[in-house]
Structure 1
Amino acid sequence: MKRASKIFILLLILAFSFLSCNKDKNTFNADVIIYGGTSAAVISAVETPQSGKSVVIVSPDKHLGGLSSSGLGFTDTGNKEAIGGLARDFYHRIWLHYNDSPAWKWQKHSEYGNKGQGTPALDGENRTMWIFEPHVAEQVFEDFIKENNITVYRDEWLDRKKEAVIKDKKIVSFTTLSGKTFKGKVFIDATYEGDLMAAAGVSYTVGREACSQYDEQWNGVQAGVFHHGHYFKTAIDPYVIPGDSTSGLLPYISGDPIQPNCSGDHKIQAYCFRLCMSNHLDNRVPFEKPAGYDPKRYELLGRVFESGWNEWFDKFDVIPNRKTDTNNHGPFSSDYIGMNYDYPEASYTHRKEILEEHKNYQKGLLYFASTDPRVLRQVRDGMQQWGLAKDEFPDNGNWPYQLYIREARRMIGEYVMTENDVLGKRPVPDPVGMGSYTLDSHNSQRYVTSEGHVQNEGDVGVHPPRPYQIAYQSLVPKEEECTNLLVPICLSSSHIAYGSIRMEPVFMVLGQSVAAAACLALDERTSVQKVDYSNLSRKLKEKGQVTEISKDMVN
């Protein structure tokens, strides 16, 4: 062989070796791969090494914890006795933090009202704290990560144009937009959107089912149902020129006719940001006038105030250090009703646009309530005492990192949780956790009634009689679709049942349960669907997980 040919072949070998080396540098392996940066993702990751398996978190978010560390500090808990395991440890760690004097920077501990949902916020008897500041929650999640030596790849977004690599009904790997490939034996989709689940070809739904589909009462359209007060209590004209239907509708009112009650549709309950506000002069950032602000966008709210409505501050829920977890309340509030229908399946670019629209809407809402003369004076004066908390979300303009995705995709798995499970009308098979919160759906649309008035629709709140069990088979896909994926957030549930299940403590509970199941599937060398439930149940109980509750423990 001539010398030139030998050199050419050697160069080819070196080139292929270089490419192979570079490829390997962008490939990451673990027993369990978790996609998501939510509270469920962190708790799943903590459970995995504690069960003897390697784990990697692939997080599209830079900040971990999802809503729990992004403004939802006035925890929706229901019955606290139904929360165990690592989820309860999270709230215990919050309690430890607030038992330390330096935690009370902006007010004295004695000044805090200690009001929670059903129990004291700072529950000394049970050594738990259910109400907290966003940055405190984020630090607890980061402590979990550090203590368990968990590897986290942040700002890594699933490449949704490339389907996950599937072989023999198993996910082999997925690739992120940065070019990284993650290979695992079992995968957990712990996102609010269910993107990995969708990329794996798993069946899912978006929207509200007809009541007839699962023999439910509270699913689908629920016009005339007013359970939470988020509706127009007096007749409000919907038209640009009052009384003139030819003048067009005010912003945020749909012109579509309302469909019959219990009919299904593609609509989902509204999203919002859970804002952390402060009324401490040294720790508040005044509400700014957003770019493109137009007070006409809030004409409907002006008419609500003119009608005499005065409940504006009712959901400024108090959290420590003179701050709030501010949620939607009333007929026109922070919920951006009807503006999120595309979100679950939208591209990243379009999702970002929807997120920015929500942010701009809420910023305009705050500015309007603070400055517009149509707003009741006591509301304007009150709003001027508040601002965004200066020491929260400092790298995001003091605005929460996470939009409240109250529902998006929902898997259609081996078992579908329905209101009949939540309301105790049928037994739940193979429980791995519990829920207890109200069947809670926010409004899905704003429409014009037959009388010519504006009204909201979709606001449902029905209390279960006692804590209910959540089936393991609702957390796994159908076996013929995928055998190594678990889904603790976008689980298999009807729209209205999901309204109760979708609480952050429950997501943490289910995050631990699916991780324990993933590790057992590896030990038993079986699919996630065929994990021995007796082994899983025993393991969860040993770890303090609550899967059943006696009647005498019901509040």
Structure 2
Amino acid sequence: MLSPLRSALFLAFCGSAIAAPISKDIVIYGGTPGGITAAVQAARDGRSVVLVSPTKHLGGLTTSGLGWTDLGDSRILGGLGLDFYKRVYRHYQSDSAWTQETREKFGNRGQGGPAFNAEKQIGSVFEPKVAEQIFTQMLGEAKVEVVHAKLDLKKGVSMEGKRIRSLRMEDGSEFVGGMFIDASYEGDLLPGAEVSFNVGREANAAQGESASGIQAKQATKNQLPDGIDPHRVKGDPKSGLLPGVNPGPGGEDGEGDKTLQAYCYRMVLTDVAENRVMIGKPEGYREEDYEILFRAIEAGQQEKFFKLDLMPNRKTDSNNTGGISTDYIGMNYGKGWDWTTLGHAERDALAKQHELWQRGLVWTLQNHPRVPEEMRKKLATWGLPKDEFTDNGHWPWQLYVREARRMVGEVVMNQKHCTGQEKVNDPVGLAAYAMDSHHVQRTVLKGMLKNEGDVQLHVKKPYPVSYRSLVPKRGECENLLVPWSLSATHMAFGSIRMEPVFMGLGQSAAIAADLALDKEIAVQEVVYADLRKRLVEAEQALGE
């Protein structure tokens, strides 16, 4: 029998080790831009809400280097998304914001339009630390409770019938809710909630598309030069293929598969010496990992190894570009696995491999004797900014998970929606970016090494995204909304997945969740006329 003192200590230990579940009206998983706007909207609606983030820093890609925004068309902005970009604009109107250059010297170049639109007072180009400050400010103003914890990916979703009852984290914490919003880049709630989803590329025939599935004969953008030998020893097929190269594309063009478009970090660089940390030779560096780079240079690739799109204060958003660049092609999936099936620790390890690849790419281009001296000198001035990502070796926190799970709902957004051939009647947001897929693999085509999977199809004007693409099919989970891993084909998702769209869809998801709670109905039963009224009141962008 325990003494009174030991009994008290035992009970105190149990009380601290097994915390009581946290109960909220709305539980949001994912500290992404869409998760943040959903949480702010829910709080503004008077709902009790918790934002559970598996990442230490909030904001996803918007705060991790994607500062040269994939906007497409500013007409897609409304509500909280518009508020975010207006705050960016106001920040950079102050002289104190310009520490390494003047506003005039920066110029005004953004993607598809001005970086700072004076007429609309929106700023679409910004430093990562500024984006984080703004998101933190928005969450603070709404008094949103933020908890940092990672979902138990194997058994963390607890169901009662067709409804999620609670989410359990790896640390044992539990969140009970009336409504749940999956704002993760991976769609991590979908399997446990028994919701239908896809991973990979649909065949063209699945939704009557023209550019889904394998694209070996059509992928010309960001392509390797002709003439690159794919073998470890040039001219010797018996030596085997270079690392990461497949013998063929895996099928005919237009056929579906289970590949994923490549991930990378939106690397942030600067050429300001007093704010620069040069990239050293990374741990475990192997020259053979960059053999494709050397051969691409020999075959004629002289530039476009990484972008240098300028953000304020001489910082860059250095995304993938060119035949060989920052994308770690083919490294986010393999036989019997893909990024979505990995545990958190495994994802962290794979993300680290992406980081080491990119660091090694920069070091090689700046230092390796197999890179022409003129090229080395041209790139020698770029390093990491001292005043960004200060707790992570000045490297972005979030890997660019461009695509993972995609829900299959009653409406599957597809290529025809993006082109305007078909139009939904229940819009909850607008998208306008090109249908954009990065390469998924390196393969042998006509005896040469080639990339496969890049597609970039123009979108003429903003098009609506359906509410029914944010909720599961009828008969599936009744209290889950999914604003990023939504119901869309690979092609349509390539347009919808942009961060400004995510902000809008996150806010719309929270408004729908509030309505469903009010009326005590399933998310599939929300009357669109009621939802539209609320969306208009929130100044959401819905189109014509």
Q: What TM-score range do you get, normalising by the shorter chain?
A: over 0.9
1:395 alignment counterpart: 391
Give 1:313 shift: 6.0
Pick aligned residue for 1:504 from 499, 502, 507? 499
Please name the residue that 2:342 is paired with.
Answer: 346
Shift of 1:481: 1.6
- Aligned residue identity for 1:544: E
Q: Which of 105, 112, 115 is the equivalent residue of 1:111?
A: 105
Which amino acid in the other structure matches residue 195 of structure 1?
Answer: D
Q: Which residue of 2 aligns with 1:327?
A: 319
**Residue aligned with 1:275, SS:** coil
Residue among 165, 175, 193 paired with 1:172 = 165
Partner of 2:329: 337
Looking at structure 1, the residues matched to 9 and 226 of structure 2 have their Cα atoms a distance apart, in angstroms, of 75
Q: Is the 8 A contact 1:107 1:322 kept in 2?
A: yes
- Aligned partner letter, 1:166: M
Partner of 1:221: 214
Is 1:380 the counterpart of 2:359? The answer is: no
Q: Does the 8 Å contact 1:237/1:243 carry over to 2?
A: yes
Secondary structure of the structure 1 residue equivalent to 2:429: strand
Q: How many Å separate the matches in 2 of 1:537 and 1:180? A: 36
Confirm or deny: 8 A CA contact 1:163 1:200 kept in the other structure: no
| Alpha-carbon contact 1:302-1:374 (below 8 Å) kept | yes
In the TM superposition, 1:62-77 aligns within 5 A as 62-77=56-71
Supply the distance in 2 between the matched residues of 1:63 and 1:138 (Cα, whole angstroms).
8
Kindly indicate whether residue 177 of structure 2 is the aligned counterpart of residue 184 of structure 1. yes
Paired letter, 1:65: G
After the TM superposition, which residues 80-159 of structure 1 pair with which residues of structure 2 at under 5 Å, given as runs?
Answer: 80-154=74-148, 156-159=149-152
Deviation at 1:405, TM superposition (A): 0.3
* Equivalent residue runs for 1:396-415 within 5 Å: 396-415=392-411
Paired position in structure 2 for 1:552: none
CA shift at 1:529, angstroms?
0.9
Read off the aligned partner of 2:27 and give its amino acid letter: I
Please say if residues 158 and 192 of structure 2, whose CA atoms lie closer than 8 Å, have aligned partners that are also in contact.
no
1:424 aligns with 2:416: no
1:259 alignment counterpart: 251
Could you tell me which residue of structure 2 aligns to residue 279 of structure 1? 271
Structure 2 contact 323–451 (Cα < 8 Å) conserved: yes
* Contact 2:249/2:452, CA 8 A, preserved across alignment: no
**Which letter maps to 2:167?**
F
Q: Is the 8 A contact 1:306 1:374 kept in 2?
A: no
Deviations 1:140-189 (A, max 9, x none): 110011111110001x0111232412113111111111111101100001
* Alignment CA distance shift 1:385-1:174 (3 Å): same
For 1:219, the aligned partner's letter is S
The answer to whether the Cα contact below 8 Å between 1:270 and 1:338 also exists between their aligned partners in 2 is: yes
SS in 1 for 2:450: strand
Question: Which amino acid letter does the alignment assign opposite residue 302 of structure 2?
Answer: N
How big is the shift at 1:202? Answer: 1.2
Deviation at 1:113, TM superposition (A): 2.0
Partners of 1:351 and 1:313 in 2: CA distance:
25
Letter in 1 for 2:393: G
Q: Are 2:476 and 1:484 aligned?
A: no
Look up the match of 2:433.
Answer: 437
| SS of residue paired to 1:197 | coil
For residues 476 and 296 of structure 1, do their structure 2 counterparts lie closer, same or farther at Cα, with a shift above 3 Å needed? same
Q: What is the Cα deviation at residue 252 of structure 1?
A: 2.4
Structure 2 match to 1:533: 528
Q: Please say if residues 433 and 470 of structure 1, whose CA atoms lie closer than 8 Å, have aligned partners that are also in contact.
A: yes
Determine helix, strand or coil for the equivalent of 1:454.
strand
Q: Which amino acid is the alignment partner of residue 517 of structure 2?
A: L
Distance 1:307 1:526, change over 3 A: same
Amino acid at match of 2:33: S
One-letter amino acid of the counterpart of residue 458, structure 1: G
For 1:393 and 1:12, the matched residues in 2 are separated by: 46
| Residues 230 and 444 in structure 2, CA contact (< 8 A), matched pair in contact too | yes
Which amino acid counterpart does residue 107 of structure 2 have in structure 1?
G
Aligned residues: 540
- Aligned-residue sequence identity (percent) comes to 45
Give the structure 1 partner of residue 513 of structure 2: 518
The 8 Å contact of residues 437 and 455 in structure 2, kept in 1 or not, is answered as yes
SS of residue matched to 1:304 = helix
**TM-score normalised by L of structure 2:** 0.96
Which of 179, 203, 209 in structure 2 is aligned with 1:210?
Answer: 203
Once the two structures are TM-superposed, the CA of residue 196 in structure 1 deviates from its matched residue by 1.6
CA RMSD of aligned residues (A): 2.0
What letter matches 2:196 in structure 1? S
Letter in 1 for 2:274: D
Q: After superposition, what is the alpha-carbon deviation per residue over 1:45-84, rounded to whole angstroms, capped at 9, x for unaligned?
A: 0000111211101110110000000010000011111111
Give 1:501's aligned amino acid: I
- Cα deviation for residue 379 of structure 1 reads 2.4
SS in 1 for 2:239: strand
TM-score (norm 1): 0.94
Aligned equivalent of 1:201: 194
**CA distance in 2 between partners of 1:165 and 1:13 (Å):** 32
d(CA) in 1 for partners of 2:315 and 2:408?
40
| Superposed CA offset, 1:99-135 (max 9, x none) | 1111101111111021011221011111110000000
Instruction: Give the Å deviation of 1:256.
Output: 4.1
The equivalent residue for 1:553 is none
Q: Deviations over 1:331-371 (max 9, x none)?
A: 11110111101212212232122111111111111111111
Distance verdict in 2 for CA 1:365–1:202, change over 3 Å: same
Q: Aligned to 1:91, what secondary structure does the other structure show?
A: helix
- Alpha-carbon deviation of 1:520? 0.7
1:263 Cα deviation from its structure 2 partner: 0.5
Matched, 1:241 2:233: yes
Q: In structure 2, what residue type is equivalent to 1:459?
A: D
Q: Is the 8 A contact 1:305 1:374 kept in 2?
A: no
Does the aligned pair in 1 maintain the 2:306–2:320 contact within 8 Å? no
Change (3 A) 1:350 1:16: closer
Separation in 1, partners of 2:374, 2:509: 49
Partners in 1 of 2:171 and 2:266 — Cα distance? 30
Instruction: Tell me, yes or no, if the aligned pair for 1:26 and 1:179 is still in contact at 8 Å.
Output: no
Alpha-carbon distance in 2 for matches of 1:430, 1:313 = 42
Compared CA separation, residues 51 and 245, structure 1 to 2 (3 A)? same
